[in-house]
Amino acid sequence: MEWGDDIYKAIKEAGVGQVAYVPDAGHKRLINACIDDNDIKAVSLTTEEEGIALSAGAWLGGEKCVMLMQSSGVGNCINMLSLIETCRFPFCAFVTMRGQWHEFNPWQMPMGTTTKQALQTAGCLVDEVEDPSDVGAKAAATIHKAFVGQQSSVLLLSQRMVPIKTFGK
């Protein structure tokens, strides 16, 4: 999962000061890099919708915030996503997908198969990546759309790029 290094590099180059996350195995490498970086405030959330409010507060305070979450967390954010449009602040998120290729957990399927549509309906610009070699360029473009274009911008990271998960074994 070296693609996390590419997102980290894009975050650093864009001058992002805060990274909000809910612990996620797919983002583990990236989360750890942000925690280890003294120039980034890595904020562990108890639920994903807190990240929307944190992003708004960061922007009002003069900082850029990026959010890391899993596709199931997008479902938790649906109501809070309206805050972005109403208050007109940039939002940037990187979402590891579930409910796609090689999914073992049926509970992940409903949100995993509707994540893109849900985000688009909420007004987010959504891009997807399946090839790890494309992550760096797409991450930089996602951050650019958010903070230069003043948009709500999300990059979906295909389940093919994260380790296959199982219950136990």
In sign, the C-alpha dihedral spanning 53, 22, 90, 84 is negative
Query: What pLDDT does 126 receive?
Result: 97
Q: Across all residues in the chain, what is the average pLDDT?
A: 90
Q: Is residue 46 part of a domain?
A: yes
Q: Is residue 99 part of a domain?
A: yes
Q: Is residue 135 part of a domain?
A: yes
Q: Is residue 81 part of a domain?
A: yes
CATH number, residue 143: 3.40.50.970
Buried b (16+ CB within 10 A) or exposed e, 27-49: bbbbbebbeeeeebbbbebeebb
With a cut of 50, list the residues of the chain below it in pLDDT.
none
Query: What pLDDT does 168 receive?
Result: 60
pTM of the model: 0.89
Q: Which residue range forms the structural domain that includes residue 151?
A: 3-159
Query: What pLDDT does 99 receive?
Result: 61
